[in-house]
Structure 1
Amino acid sequence: MSLGALEFFRGDALRARLFLERYALRGEGGEVLEEEPPQMWERLAREISRFDPDPERALEGFRWLLWDFRFVPGGRIMFAAGSGRRATLANCYLIPIREDSVEGIMGAALEAARTFSYGGGVGVDLSILRPRGEKVSNAALTSSGAASFMELFSQVTGTIGQMGRRGALMLTLHCAHPDAFDFVRAKADPDRSRVRYANVSLLVEDSFVEAVLRDDLWEMWYPAPCTREELLDGPMGGDVAALAELMLSLERLRRKALEEPLSEAEARAEAEALPTPSGLSLVFMGSPSPYYLPGPFYLLVGPSGVEVRRRRVYRRVRARELWDELVHCAFDSAEPGVIFISRARRFSTTEYAGMGILSTNPCSEVTLEPYGCCCLGSLNLSAFVVNPFSGGAQMDLTSLGRAIRWGVRFLDDALEAGLELHPLPQQRSHAAWGRRIGLGVTGLADALVKLGIEYGSLASTSFCDDLFSFIRKVAYVESALLARERGTFPAFDPGRHFRSPFFSHFGEEMEVLQRFGLRNCALLTCPPVGSGSLLAGTSSGIEPIFHLRVSRRVESLGEEVLYEHPLLGEWRRLRGFEGDPAELPPALVTAHRVEARGRVSLQGTIQRHVDQSISSTVNLPRSAGPREVEEIFLEAWRRGCKGITVYREGSRPPVLREGPHDPYSGCRTCELNEPL
């Protein structure tokens, strides 16, 4: 191991090994060319500033921003920028299943594999696939169902890893899909071996939660192929001649697509030329999901042609039956998580011009359109606390504001730097169309300890309300100023963009936004910052401190490493190493001591100021029951969260375990924490 790295990290071997094995630049022969983080920061500053209109000024600004982990770029940026490797700078993407067919499924799997090979993670929504038992026109006679393909995507992810670690995958399904029960149970097998390379979340509508609370029936439906009679009695209005003309056109397209699949441009042109009646909701290449459209008739356009579908109810169940199954599986196996898709879509800033969200990235902090990507970087909030652990502790808002402004510019330049490095051409075009970035935070829990504020308390919620309002305001004004300098993102439509309820609580900054527009269609998120926070020596994202001393499973090393949270060392150094070594900062609480309701309330408060989403896992002790899981889900919905996951100790093999001599003992974290 490099002595320079070990010395830089004050003897912390885990952080030094993480830097050297994951992020340090290597030569063609694999030799390490960067021995400590300042060399990496210089590489990143030089490379990303090349894409700024004022590269010299940007170079100095980025040097300041990156120094001493004030700002932690996404892992793909740290690894790939300036390396000369064929690797993406975006952490994650959303890959659509472009049609309900074998070709659609395998095409998505191939695109996911290509994306993994470039270092990106992938989200895939399965809701477009027909349910189990539905008729198919091949030798199988009936479909094996949407949930049956979860294992396929999981195995692709596990097989094509990067740098000794598995790929990252999120699989989602809508709560009204007839296969929702199978989907929810997919990872609840006793040995936890099924779908092991994927995170799983159910897309939950507000109407479903309301039906649960009223104990109403819930319709499980899918846009199934419709008969001529249904077409004639429905949108065709009894016009037999018009129906015949439509059916001939559909058959012509099917035969044409058999010779060669339709491109997106061809499919769109053919669909527009069809003699279709009004009242058909268009689903183009898998988006938007039929579950987000009025129906009941749908025009599904894909590479294999055009098909008319109809909303068909397969069964009606008590909403609570599916809800209870969801809660039980989350309690028993830590999955599925929940994505409140109604909330996510309603407060999205991108529901127009082909940017409407379909699902999320693997850790669910970024809601994405098909082929959309995450260009991530996080502010280290702990680095902006002055006079820590004292009565005079406070946030240095002047420096934080400067970091926010440079962070937005860094990510916008990084997006430009990465345009030619995306695995797929569709990803490149969507990145340029919306210029979506994800400015996040990490080290929130550490910052609260330094400020003397207990995580999850009313004081912490009030503090975060003010802090994230400040971050939102500064970031959005900076994006507007970038729009003045460089132009708005190509898809920008002010009338439609600012119609989002997200802007309803903006203040005087709206004048600047409306005057200049925006450089980025969305700006803010809260990622988990798994290995990035470990590298920076901070707590992860907005999560509470897990434990002070943990035994961490390092998958790339095939071993477990004892790790002490760096905040303890900082606390001791500031006190001159005097007093009882076991004495802890007064405000320090670890994850299992944070009351769940306060934890969720904090997330809901932060979500008001974040235009995208938040990656969040609530840790529960082994003694917790299904009732606690249900209350967390319901409280998250009431508080306006867009998603949440629960991990109960012992429900799934951990990445972290409490280490020896830990002042606390309790729960473990789940596999959503990124392994090394």
Structure 2
Amino acid sequence: MKVIKRNGEIVPFESEKIYHAITKAMSETELGVDLFMAGKIAEEIYHISKGRVEPLNIEEVQDLVENSLMDKKRFDVAKRYIIYRSERNKERNKMWEMTELQKDIYEKKYRFENESFGEFLDRVSGGNLYIRKLIQQKKFSPAGRILAHRGLNEKGKKVCYSNCFVNTPPKDNLESIFEVARDIARTYSMGGGVGFTLENLRPRGSSVNNSANETTGAVSFMDLYSLTTGLIGQSGRRGALMLALPIGHPDIEEFIDVKSDLDKVNFANISIMITDDFMRAVESDEDWKLHFQVESTGEIIEKTVSAKRLFRKIAENNWKMAEPGMLFWDRIQGYHLNSEVEYFVYSAVNPCAEKALVEDGSCLLASFNLSEYINHAFTDSATFDKESFEKDIFEVVRYMDDLLEEGIEYLPLEGHKQVARDYRQLGIGIMGIADMFIKMGIKYGDINSIIMMDDIVNLLINKSIQASSLLAKERGSYPKYSDKVLESKFLQSVAWDDTIEMVSRYGLRNSELLSIAPNGSISTMFGVSGGIEPIFALSHNRRSESLGDGEDVNYKVYSQIVRDYMEFAGITKESELPEYFVTSHDIEYQDRIKFQGIVQRNVDSAISSTVNLPNSATVEDVERIYTLAWKHNLKGITVYRDGCMREGILTIDKPKASDLELVEEDCNT
């Protein structure tokens, strides 16, 4: 005999639960508990259910309890039971407490039309009560495209659930170059952000068989893709684009300088694919060869430059313009679950660089809010609730795999659909790290924070792999799965013995599992720090074009954790905060990079991360950051110097050198 839960799941009928609910209601009345009557009602409902062809649902069971109590003249108990049902329903649909900004984000980015908060939770969770509760408790959130889009295709919307895509890069011909523009426009129109490389395009000055005689080069087409990105909106926000070029391409110097022209490539992020050989050449002050062979003609274009001078050019532009970002490509290609699988080759990264993907790859993103797993916050007995975290990981991996299956048909391009079927990529990340440390009384970046993060993220990757392996046992491995996964340096470095045993026995349902996105809007809506970032400031302004109907809107935002601690400790001044309340500008970049390196060791994909520097930072500081990041095995790094020529989305109350508008890099929210 069965009963239908609110999420549609059919489970065994349990008379004991009815009995306990009735006795609880009776205990709150003057007449008290009548065990015989409670048992009799439970038995009656059991027999009613047994006589039904179709199982009762929970609401029908509760209606029967109410009617039975009233039939037996226990109106007092019926009243308490009705109140109990109402309170439980209110609790299930209780709205988050939100500031004006948080409410703006929820209502303008994620809420569909006039749906209630309970309806929002139901839509996003898809009726999964476990996940619904995690979202309501702010312990977990799927990424923005899931929050905004799930369930809308049934209402006639053409939208997808994936935030990030790596599209097939342009081939070295005009037809392909413009086909790529068409494909990214289609991807943007359905809500996705896109990355791809320009490595196939012949460099400036190469011969072409048309009236131009020679090409304007790879960089000249960046504005085509940038303008396409600026034109195509995603629910009130521009598209998001990452353009990348290998360090060995002959146009690399022009690529590095492209953002020095404030009128060019304003709607794309740019990054360089850096090799270990290049970094070693920089260290040894050697020459560096730039090389390209035109496939159609056999023409070879080569030139030799100083590796150290090229490295300095990258650092100077980053110091001045906050771009290009650095992608340590050998580490990206060599440290993940499929690194030993010959046919698995990453093509590029998504717009915020937390996700490397194969050509036409896409990924569903989500994040755990670690700050909500702290028991006894702000006290000496504060602990991280590993038991709950472990249990939640298994449920989240299953939920994300369900979402992936549901969303494949909504992906923008046929190539996206096929690759999603073949590889089933997930990108589960974290947020609220800085808040977690404060609740524990730990300073971000010190040795205790590093030890704690290593422990937590290692737990996350092992339990995620185990959950995916159990899903493979139940549903089958992803079609392109290979036992070569067991030989990967990544798995050998981070996996426990029982994790490896499970993968060996069952395989994996998903080719990729962890990816740490910046989750800017979602972390702000939750009132916590984003990604692995420290608190940006104890208070700051936030400019968001996408919330302002085309005009910039500035909000004053005070960190929630600061308000919470002040209330707990009974203090009113920021000067009274303990020393472990540190911001991004208080943390030495050496500690910041060391911290990220430990996290990256346990993450099979990548981490979107920005090292914030004061205005006084030098070009040499940027060079040292790059070198240190490479030596600590980071997969990528971005530097933002306060007061540089490109204004960031987060600002403290200081004037900037330029009021240049930037596309909001909210590629995962």
TM, length-normalised to structure 2 = 0.81
- Residue in 2 aligned with 1:301? none
Which residue in the other structure is 1:366 paired with?
355
1:580 CA drift (Å):
4.6
Deviation, 1:355, is 3.4
Distance 1:91 1:580 in 2: 40
In 1, the alpha carbon distance for the partners of 2:427 and 2:320 equals 32
Offset, 1:674: 2.7
Q: Which amino acid aligns with 1:674?
A: D
Number of paired residues? 560
Map residues 554-565 of structure 1 onto 2, 5 A cutoff: 554-556=544-546, 557=548, 558=551, 559-565=553-559
- The code of the aligned residue for 1:536 comes to F
In 2, Cα distance between the equivalents of 1:95 and 1:78?
23
Whether the 8 Å contact between 2:464 and 2:513 is mirrored in structure 1 is yes
Structure 2 counterpart of 1:510, one-letter code? I
Q: What is the identity, as a one-letter code, of the residue corresponding to 1:623?
A: S
Show the counterpart of 1:665.
Answer: none
1:180 aligns with 2:261: no
Identify the residue that residue 72 of structure 2 maps to in structure 1.
none
Offset of residue 582 of structure 1: 5.1
Query: Which residue of structure 2 aligns with residue 17 of structure 1?
Result: 104
Shift in Å, 1:313: 4.9
Aligned residues of 1:175 and 1:204 also touching (Cα < 8 A) = yes
For the pair shown, which has the larger CA radius of gyration, 1 or 2?
2
* Residues 1:113 and 2:185 are matched in the alignment: yes
Residue identity in the other structure for 1:435: R
Q: Would you identify which runs of 4 or more consecutive aligned residues in structure 1 move more than 6 Å? A: 669-672
Matches of 1:130 and 1:212 in 2, distance apart? 25
Equivalence for 1:604 = 597
Could you tell me how far 1:98 is from its partner in structure 2? 4.5
Residue correspondence of structure 1 range 99-138 to structure 2 within 5 A: 99-138=171-210
Q: Which residue is equivalent to 2:381?
A: 392
Give 2:666's aligned residue.
674
Task: Tell me if structure 1 keeps the 8 A contact 2:165–2:362.
Answer: yes
2:338 & 2:122 partners in 1: Cα distance?
34
Which 10-residue stretch deviates more, 65-74 or 154-163? 65-74
Whether the 8 Å contact between 1:379 and 1:403 is mirrored in structure 2 is no
Q: Note if contact 1:616-1:645 (Cα within 8 Å) is conserved in structure 2.
A: yes
Determine if the alignment matches structure 1 residue 335 to structure 2 residue 331.
Answer: no
Do 2:266 and 2:663's aligned partners in 1 also have CA atoms closer than 8 Å?
no
Structure 1 segments unaligned to the other structure (5+ residues): 27-31, 50-58, 226-306, 661-668
Aligned partner of 2:125 in structure 1 is: 45
Name the residue aligned to 2:131: 62
- 1:255-282 alpha-carbon deviations (Å, 9 max, x no partner): xxxxxxxxxxxxxxxxxxxxxxxxxxxx
Query: Residue 404 of structure 1 is aligned with which of 390, 393, 399?
Result: 393
**1:498 aligns to what?**
486
Q: Residues 63 and 11 (structure 1 numbering): CA distance in 2 closer, same or farther, change over 3 Å?
A: closer
8 A Cα contact 1:98 1:108, kept in partner: yes
Aligned CA distance change for structure 1 residues 623 and 492 (closer, same or farther; 3 Å): same
Q: Distance in 2 between matches of 1:350 and 1:25?
A: 38
2:604 equivalent to 1:534: no
Report the equivalent of 1:648: 641
Deviation at 1:671? 6.6
1:276 is matched with which residue?
Answer: none
Matched, 1:375 2:364: yes
Q: Is residue 202 of structure 1 aligned with residue 195 of structure 2?
A: no
Report if aligned partners of 1:122, 1:170 keep a CA contact under 8 Å in 2. yes
Q: Quick check: 1:593 aligned with 2:616?
A: no
The answer to whether structure 1 residue 467 and structure 2 residue 456 are counterparts is: yes
| Aligned-partner SS, 2:109 | helix
1:549 maps to what in 2?
539
Alignment partner of 1:349 is 2:337: yes
Q: Distance in 2 between matches of 1:159 and 1:338?
A: 27
Are the equivalent residues in 2 in contact too, given 1:72–1:536 (CA < 8 A)? no
SS at match of 2:293: strand
Give the 3 Å change call, closer, same or farther, for CA 343–78 of structure 1 in structure 2.
same
Deviations 1:291-312 (A, max 9, x none): xxxxxxxxxxxxxxxx5757x3
Q: Indicate whether 1:96 and 2:168 are aligned.
A: yes
Give the AA of the match of 2:629: A
Query: Tell me, which stretches of 5 or more residues in structure 2 are unaligned?
Result: 1-90, 655-660
Instruction: Please report how far the alpha carbon of residue 63 of structure 1 lies from its aligned counterpart in structure 2 after TM superposition.
Output: 2.1
Sequence identity of aligned pairs in percent?
35
Task: Please say if 1:33 is aligned against 2:115.
Answer: yes
Which of 639, 643, 651 does residue 657 from structure 1 map onto?
651
What's the C-alpha RMSD, in Å, of the aligned pairs? Answer: 2.1
* 2:445 pairs with 1:456: yes
Q: Is the 8 A contact 1:379 1:442 kept in 2?
A: yes
Partner of 1:626: 619
* One-letter amino acid matched to 2:566: R
DSSP 3-state at the match of 2:302:
strand
Deviation at 1:394, TM superposition (A): 1.3
Mapping for residues 270-285 of structure 1, pairs under 5 Å: none
> Partner of 2:83 in structure 1?
none
User: Deviation digits for residues 502-561 of structure 1, max 9, x if unmatched?
Assistant: 112222121111111100011011111111111111101001100121111121312211
Q: How far did 1:499 drift?
A: 2.2
Report the equivalent of 1:436. Answer: 425
Following the alignment from structure 2 to structure 1, what is the Cα–Cα distance between the partners of residues 412 and 101? 31
Write the deviation string for residues 564-587 of structure 1: whole angstroms up to 9, x where unpaired: 111122223334x45656532441
1:220 corresponds to which of 250, 272, 290: 290
> How do residues 221-236 of structure 1 correspond to structure 2 at under 5 angstroms?
221-225=291-295
Compared CA separation, residues 364 and 581, structure 1 to 2 (3 A): closer
- Between the aligned partners of 1:368 and 1:42, the Cα distance in structure 2 is 31
Partner of 2:51: none
Question: Contact (CA 8 Å) 1:480, 1:516: kept in 2 or not?
Answer: yes
**Could you give the per-residue CA deviations for residues 232-272 of structure 1, whole angstroms, max 9, x where no partner exists?**
xxxxxxxxxxxxxxxxxxxxxxxxxxxxxxxxxxxxxxxxx
Structure 2 CA distance for aligned equivalents of residues 169 and 672 of structure 1: 11
Change (3 A) 1:640 1:671: farther
SS, match of residue 576 in structure 2: coil
Counterpart AA for 1:604? G
Query: Which residue of 467, 485, 508 corresponds with 1:518?
Result: 508
2:606 counterpart letter in structure 1: S
Quote the residue 1:413 is aligned against.
Answer: 402
Cross-structure match for 1:568:
562
Aligned to 2:130, the other structure's residue is in SS state helix
**Deviation of the 1:42 alpha carbon:** 1.8
AA matched with 1:65: L
Give distance in 2, aligned partners of 1:452 and 1:308.
64
Distance 2:588 2:326 in 1: 20
CA distance in 1, matches of 2:271, 2:400: 28
Whichever residue aligns with residue 563 of structure 1, its letter is: V
Letter in structure 2 aligned against 1:70: K
Please report the TM-score for the alignment, with normalisation by the length of structure 1. Answer: 0.80
Q: What is the alpha-carbon distance in structure 1 between the residues aligned to residue 564 and residue 95 of structure 2?
A: 14
Q: 1:331 to 1:578 in 2, by over 3 A?
A: closer
The 1-side partners of 2:241 and 2:338 are apart by 23
> In the TM superposition, what whole-angstrom CA distance separates every residue of 1:191-246 from its partner, at most 9, and x where no partner exists?
x3321111110000000000010111111001224xxxxxxxxxxxxxxxxxxxxx
Check conservation: 1:338, 1:643, Cα contact below 8 A.
yes
Instruction: Check conservation: 1:202, 1:337, Cα contact below 8 A.
Output: yes
